[in-house]
Structure 1
Amino acid sequence: MTKLHHYVGACSIALCTLLSTDVVAEVELVNKDHIFNDHDNFKLTSHGSLRLQALNFDHYDASNEGQKYRRNGYSAGSRIYLDADYKINDDLNLISGYQNFINPAKILDWDGHYVEQDEKIRTEQLYFGLSSKQYGTLKFGKQYSVYYDVVGSKTDLWDYDTIGQAQTWSPFAYVDGTQAARKMLRYEKKNKYADLYAAYLFEDESLPYKRKSGEELAIDVHLNKELSWATSWKHNRASLQYDDEQHDFSQQVLATALFYFDGKWLAGAGAGWYKNTLPNYSAFNLPTAQQAKQYLNSKAYGVEYYLGYNFQIAHHGLQSIRPYVMGNYLKYTQGDDFYRQDNGVGVAVRFDHGIGFDYERLYTSDTMNTPDMHMFRLRYDW
């Protein structure tokens, strides 16, 4: 796999993991009392987002040739959520969450708006758990990582972001758990002053990568009602196999982020350090016996920032306009000489009935000479 091919895939991961900072109104599908006794309740809700996006680079070269089809418009992170909640009593609930990424262009065979390797549907999360007001929440299944949910999401505020984060570049982001992971047991306890998180990742395999075990810890401190500060630590024991060669190693991710929102100003800043998580493509130039050992022998760090201001309009069908500035920086310190820096400006416009439009102008400097870019996105959120 070349660096170019991985970068194209990495951007797809980043685009698919973006969180909307806008309030989403859930659709209540079921809300029924007295299922088994006089005190219980069952609720099933849904929400989602359809997103049609176009990328227009200033020019096309070896770094972005494979993304030409995206000028036509493609589905970027369209998703559907289902959440089930069964209230046993005033303290205890059974919960379940399901999230699917969908690709309407691929489903409808909209020629020129997808590539063959795109998936029609991908299950992003599927978990079950218990929630207690007194003792916290315990969930098991396929879930987003504690690292992403607690720290990464605080700067995942624009539509072409997370490029400074580990999961964007990891070749195994859905097995090593930098983005999401199956077989994860996750606990969280929230209170007025801080939210505490812990997770254990059981053995999982997706050749050539095998996760033997993993641990995550995080804390999100509420400095005041507008400002929070989160820090997370992640560790994996893993192995990598190429041909008959196998290499055992450990992975580390340490990250922190600040998030501020007062109803008008929206700001996020974060940084992370990644060991044996990002790929070292020069390993493919080595003898086969050395590739497994060197492919993830790397260290890197990344930073991200975002600052926006929300103008509430609420007139003539226009709800709000939020201009913003944003950027990121990723740099290898071991294993490769790759770096990338983005800075840009954008605007998010929200209309009535869940309709929105986003525009971003991105200025990029990196070792692949990636051109500058315009990004356009139409969205419908429900």
Structure 2
Amino acid sequence: MMKLMKAFSGCALLGLCYAGVAQAEIPLLQRGNNTPYLNNLSLEVGGSVRGAYSNEMGSQDDGSRNHRGVDDGTRFRFRADYYFNDDWRLLAYYEVGTDVAHWFGDNRHVNGKGTDRRQLYGGVASKTYGKLTYGKQESVYYQTISKPLDYWVQDKKGQPAGGFGFNPNYDNGERSDGLINYENTFGDFKLLGEVMIPTRDVWDGSFIYRRGGGAGLAGQYSVNDDLTLGAAYTYQDVKIHRDGESNQKDFDQHMVGASVGWTPGQWHLAASVGYYKDYVPNNVDPDIDPSNYFVGNARSWEGFVGYTFDLPADWVSKIQPYAAHSSTRWSNFDQTYNYLGVVTRFPYRFSLWIERQFSNTSDNQPDVNKVRLRYDF
């Protein structure tokens, strides 16, 4: 535990050197720096260092790494922009997830693999004509429907990003390789479009998954400064076959969703609903025929409500108690979670998250208590 906490503290102290910076990102090089060949280049870095402790009720995870403390999703991001003029620029973005304990070879606290290429894309952007990017990046469905609900510790369980599909890194649930994304804003309306390029084979036990082509369309409308509405639809062709066999089954996957976010005063309320066709794998029998790999239809919904109190103290700035809900349904399976939590925010972008998950699922998942310490820069 000491190695993990030292790593966490080291990264946090490094960030304190930049604590006075108002932006979420740390500028390494700003446009107009009067440097030969680099005068039009802007470089920024940012990230989030996260450590966590969790405990499953019923002693189901006694002696696990979660009890000893683990990395809970530390990630670093890098952004570069090269400006041709005030309108046009080239852009590149790289975001890598990592497990700090893995750096130190501390297997008692390792929570996953060493690094995870979360996003890597490049493109061109114009204030007039919008932004066009290609690479591994967030899907338009995630940006419009799921991301507005990512506000608690054990979130995403009522959305494709939570992994009830094949894999949110490949099936467009959260992000995926081979995406061509376009976005532009017209007044109060933001338009997002997506084209999916076929990707490589991915193994899942005895099955092989391959995403073919596809497309998506989404939009967000700002009714006013406090109220935002979103909607999205995506389609993708998917091929499933058993490893070593040629018996292949084609599926047409569809995702349809809507979201709403409302932030009047100190309140924060958000909700989303989604419908999915041939998207959720049928994991009951590993020897099923490829034609039965996906369940037919699934649906999900999520909700969040929180209220932020500003505190006139030097050592703590805000506290937000909240309640949340997520639910998914398919075939005879029911997965419902309710949450109660509180976020305490401290100076220098530190925060402490304490949360209780109440589970009601067909596979009898336990209730979970979780504590997360987080530093953002």
1:194 to 180, 189, 194: 189
1:374 corresponds to: 369
1:25 corresponds to: 24
Q: What's the C-alpha RMSD, in Å, of the aligned pairs?
A: 1.9
1:282: Cα distance to partner?
2.5
Question: Is 1:322 aligned to residue 317 of structure 2?
Answer: no
Matched AA of 2:54: L
Q: Report Cα offsets for 1:235-266 as digits up to 9, x if no partner.
A: 10110110312111110111111012245111
Instruction: Determine if contact 2:273/2:302 at 8 Å carries over to the other structure.
Output: yes
The alpha-carbon distance between structure 1 residues 24 and 370, as it changes in their structure 2 partners (threshold 3 A), is farther
Instruction: Determine if contact 1:47/1:82 at 8 Å carries over to the other structure.
Output: yes
Distance in 2 between residues matched to 1:353 and 1:172, nearest whole Å: 35
Distance in 1 between residues matched to 2:295 and 2:340, nearest whole Å: 35
2:297 to 299, 324, 330: 299
Distance in 1 between residues matched to 2:37 and 2:364, nearest whole Å: 65
1:314: Cα distance to partner?
4.6
1:18 corresponds to: none
Equivalent runs, 1:66-215 vs 2, <5 Å: 68-114=64-110, 118-168=112-162, 169-207=164-202, 208-215=208-215
Q: Report Cα offsets for 1:139-162 as digits up to 9, x if no partner.
A: 111101111111101111111011
Structure 1 residue runs of 4+, over 4 Å off?
34-38
Distance in 2 between residues matched to 1:167 and 1:112, nearest whole Å: 28
Counterpart secondary structure, 1:89? coil
Query: When the two structures are aligned, how many residues end up with a matched partner?
Result: 347
Distance in 2 between residues matched to 1:66 and 1:119, nearest whole Å: 22
Distance in 2 between residues matched to 1:114 and 1:88, nearest whole Å: 44
Matched AA of 2:129: Y
Distance in 1 between residues matched to 2:84 and 2:285, nearest whole Å: 54
Instruction: Determine if contact 1:264/1:311 at 8 Å carries over to the other structure.
Output: yes
Matched AA of 2:226: E
1:181: Cα distance to partner?
1.0
2:348 corresponds to: 353
2:268 corresponds to: 266
Counterpart secondary structure, 2:317? strand
Matched AA of 1:361: R
Distance in 1 between residues matched to 2:93 and 2:317, nearest whole Å: 30
1:66: Cα distance to partner?
9.7
Distance in 2 between residues matched to 1:221 and 1:368, nearest whole Å: 38
Matched AA of 1:324: Y
Counterpart secondary structure, 1:282? coil
Counterpart secondary structure, 2:92? strand
TM-score normalised by L of structure 2:
0.88
Distance in 2 between residues matched to 1:53 and 1:369, nearest whole Å: 23
Equivalent runs, 1:42-81 vs 2, <5 Å: 42-61=41-60, 65=61, 68-81=64-77
1:176: Cα distance to partner?
1.8
Counterpart secondary structure, 2:81? strand
2:12 corresponds to: none
Distance in 2 between residues matched to 1:183 and 1:121, nearest whole Å: 20
2:14 corresponds to: none
Matched AA of 1:227: L
The alpha-carbon distance between structure 1 residues 211 and 294, as it changes in their structure 2 partners (threshold 3 A), is same
1:255 corresponds to: 257
Counterpart secondary structure, 1:318? coil
Counterpart secondary structure, 1:360? strand
Matched AA of 1:29: L
Q: Report Cα offsets for 1:88-128 as digits up to 9, x if no partner.
A: 1111111111101011011112232125xx21011101111
Structure 2: any 5+ residue segments left out of the alignment?
Answer: 1-21, 203-207
1:206: Cα distance to partner?
2.5
The alpha-carbon distance between structure 1 residues 213 and 80, as it changes in their structure 2 partners (threshold 3 A), is same
Matched AA of 1:43: S
Distance in 1 between residues matched to 2:265 and 2:240, nearest whole Å: 46
1:69: Cα distance to partner?
2.0
Instruction: Determine if contact 1:86/1:94 at 8 Å carries over to the other structure.
Output: yes
1:246 corresponds to: 248
Instruction: Determine if contact 1:256/1:270 at 8 Å carries over to the other structure.
Output: yes
2:232 corresponds to: 232
Counterpart secondary structure, 1:189? strand
Structure 1: any 5+ residue segments left out of the alignment?
Answer: 1-22
Instruction: Determine if contact 1:209/1:239 at 8 Å carries over to the other structure.
Output: yes
The alpha-carbon distance between structure 1 residues 239 and 218, as it changes in their structure 2 partners (threshold 3 A), is same
Instruction: Determine if contact 2:146/2:161 at 8 Å carries over to the other structure.
Output: no
Matched AA of 1:25: A
The alpha-carbon distance between structure 1 residues 66 and 126, as it changes in their structure 2 partners (threshold 3 A), is farther
